[in-house]
Amino acid sequence: MPRFNPFRPGALVTPGMFSGRATELAALGKALYQAKNENPDHFVIFGERGIGKSSLLLYMSMAANGEIAAFDDVIFKFLTVSIELTPTTTYSELIKKVGAELSRTIVSHEKAKEVAKSAWEFLSRWEAFGISYKGPEKKESAPELLEDLIHTVYKVLSRTAPEIDGLLLLIDEADKPSADAHLGQFVKLFSEGLNKRACNNFLIGLAGLPSIEAKLRASHESALRIFRYIELLPLEWNERIEVLRKGLSKANTKNGYEINASQDAENMIANLSEGYPHFIQEFAYSAFEQDTDNVIDASDVLSGAFKTDGGAIWQLGRRYFESLYFDKIGSEEYRRVLQAMARHFDEWVDKKTIQTESGLKSSTLDNALIALKKRNIILPRRGKKGSYRLPSRSFAAWIRAFTQEPEADAPSLPAGSGDNKEKKAANPAAS
């Protein structure tokens, strides 16, 4: 008989299943409160793939527009505009994306909708479901579009106060566009334009990979000073267990009977996931599917993780790793670097070791390391030149299991990472 599996590896984590991030949530709650009181504290959320950036933005969006009571049970009333950028997004398209989503947000908000009916012609210039600018017959430039957008936001916020607290603009995947998107220039001019109109009840939040800082700097040097930076690290051990137990509690309610996990299974999923929220969902989902007696044990976790026809690591490969390994790399020599590093899972590996194990010439290796760093496929060690690691143990396990000749022993993930403690939360079960 089919049963409800509560884990959602391919979706954002909803507020009801959200765990951890107490420090980050407190900072974001303060940022909303500051913006409501006209002292905005704009922010950038950054972290590796699968760390939960988009889920945190969803949580903040729902809290900001009053869908959920969060941040010390304060109910906010912000107009929330959420967009996602792509590698091909240009400066004009960025402005149009914000304008189009702002239009939809206002139309769906009763108070703002009344303002729009009586005083705002900007809405009529945008396509209902796209970013195609209609407007007058003359083609308006990006600066003109931005000026129009700034004036519109100012007009709406001034006329809807105090019923609306302000505007929250969230931009996800902010690291993806090229320098042509001029993201740093946009946020600087957008915020300054509203400041000059004495409009300060707005908040800008960006989310992306760690490379987002370099993208902002390349676009506009002073854009970096606008933001407060929030780095998302892997969840703590107890937070990983909390995610599992919340999921099983939901399953028990939906299915009408008890499904439990052994302590060994909980610890194994917590370890395999490395604290990445999406990875927790993937390993838990696969273990849940393997279980047949309503008690998820260690064998269920391992079977679900290493199945070659749809197991957790195979699925993570499809979602995260294949594009890094195949699409972003056109050279087999560069892939040999990743294969050599995968032998060490996500431990730091020095350049000499990589060269010995990959068999590459020094010049080829130098080019490979530069390219892999630039594409965020490997991570350099701060303060120690010539030391690198893969972003996750799961990536290493996938490389070893699915891109190389079968090994004598099936690749298994180590219990912990020796000198990589700045990234990992301690495993109390192993002490």
pLDDT tens digits, one per residue of 101-152: 988 888 787 767 776 665 455 556 654 434 444 444 446 788 988 998 998 8
**15: phi then psi, degrees, rounded to nearest 5:** -55, -35
Q: Within this chain, do residues 71 and 197 fall inside the same structural domain, yes or no?
A: yes
Q: Within this chain, do residues 207 and 340 fall inside the same structural domain, yes or no?
A: no
**Distance, CA of 164 to CA of 199 (rounded, Å):** 13
Is 218 part of any domain?
yes
| Sole residue written with tokens 């407190």 | 26
Reported as a pLDDT band with limits 50, 70 and 90, residue 414 is low
**Distance, CA of 278 to CA of 205 (rounded, Å):** 21
Give the domain CATH number at 217. 3.40.50.300
Q: Which residue has the higher pLDDT, 380 or 106?
A: 380
- 178: CB partners within 8 A, 6+ apart: 87
Is 1 part of any domain?
no
Is 5 part of any domain?
no
Among the listed ranges 37-41, 81-85, 211-215, 225-229, which one has the minimum average pLDDT value?
211-215
List C-alpha distances in Å: 284 to 45, 100, 268, 407: 26, 38, 10, 26
Which of 231, 256, 272 terminates a domain? The answer is 231
The rounded percent of the chain whose pLDDT value lies above 90 is 63
Rounded mean pLDDT of the chain? 87
Q: Within this chain, do residues 264 and 397 fall inside the same structural domain, yes or no?
A: no
Q: Within this chain, do residues 186 and 329 fall inside the same structural domain, yes or no?
A: no
Which of 277, 306, 335 terminates a domain? The answer is 306
Is 10 part of any domain?
no
What does the pLDDT read at residue 336?
A: 96
**Distance, CA of 237 to CA of 416 (rounded, Å):** 12
The yes-or-no verdict on residue 419 having pLDDT over 60 is no
Q: For residue range 245-267, what is the model confidence (pLDDT) as tens digits?
A: 999 999 999 999 999 999 999 99
Q: Within this chain, do residues 275 and 320 fall inside the same structural domain, yes or no?
A: no
Q: Within this chain, do residues 279 and 199 fall inside the same structural domain, yes or no?
A: no
Q: Within this chain, do residues 191 and 57 fall inside the same structural domain, yes or no?
A: yes
Is 110 part of any domain?
yes
The yes-or-no verdict on residue 408 having pLDDT over 60 is no
What does the pLDDT read at residue 245?
A: 95
What does the pLDDT read at residue 107?
A: 79
What does the pLDDT read at residue 376?
A: 87
Among the listed ranges 133-137, 230-234, 316-320, 344-348, which one has the minimum average pLDDT value?
133-137
Among the listed ranges 269-273, 320-324, 412-416, which one has the minimum average pLDDT value?
412-416
Q: Which amino acid appears at position 200 of this protein?
A: N
| Sole residue written with tokens 């304008």 | 99
Contact 15, 27 (CB under 8 A): no
Among the listed ranges 52-56, 110-114, 198-202, 415-419, which one has the minimum average pLDDT value?
415-419
Q: Within this chain, do residues 257 and 344 fall inside the same structural domain, yes or no?
A: no
What does the pLDDT read at residue 412?
A: 60
Provide the token pair at 189. Answer: 């001019």
Rg over CA atoms, the chain: 24
- Which residues are bridge partners to 169 per DSSP? 81, 204
What does the pLDDT read at residue 423?
A: 47
- Provide the pairing of β-strand 166-172 with 202-208: parallel
**Distance, CA of 279 to CA of 321 (rounded, Å):** 12
Segment 51-57 mean pLDDT: 92
3-state SS string over the chain? CCCCCCCCCCCCCCHHHCCCCHHHHHHHHHHHHHHHCCCCCCEEEECCCCCCHHHHHHHHHHHHCCCCCECCCECCCEEEEEEECCCCCCHHHHHHHHHHHHHHHHHCCHHHHHHHHHHCCHHHHECCCCCCECCCCCCCCHHHHHHHHHHHHHHHHHHHCCCCCEEEEEEECCCCCCHHHCHHHHHHHHHHHHHHCCCCCEEEEEEECCCHHHHHHHHCHHHHHHCEEEECCCCCHHHHHHHHHHHHHHHHHHHCCCCEECHHHHHHHHHHHCCCHHHHHHHHHHHHHHCCCCEECHHHHHHHHHCCCCCHHHHHHHHHHHHHHHHCCCCHHHHHHHHHHHCCCCCCEEHHHHHHHHCCCHHHHHHHHHHHHHCCCCEECCCCCCEEECCCHHHHHHHHHHCCCCCCCCCCCCCCCCCCCCCCCCCHHHC
**52: phi then psi, degrees, rounded to nearest 5:** 105, 20
Give the domain CATH number at 243. 1.10.8
Q: Taking the model in full, what pTM does it have?
A: 0.83
Is 251 part of any domain?
yes
Q: Which domain holds residue 77?
A: 21-231
Q: Within this chain, do residues 80 and 202 fall inside the same structural domain, yes or no?
A: yes
Q: Within this chain, do residues 257 and 327 fall inside the same structural domain, yes or no?
A: no
Among the listed ranges 55-69, 125-139, 140-154, 396-410, which one has the minimum average pLDDT value?
125-139
Q: Is the dihedral of CA 70, 25, 194, 178 positive or negative?
A: negative
Which of 288, 306, 324 terminates a domain? The answer is 306
Is 408 part of any domain?
yes
Is 98 part of any domain?
yes
- Which residues are bridge partners to 126 per DSSP? 133
Q: How many distinct structural domains can be found in the chain?
A: 3
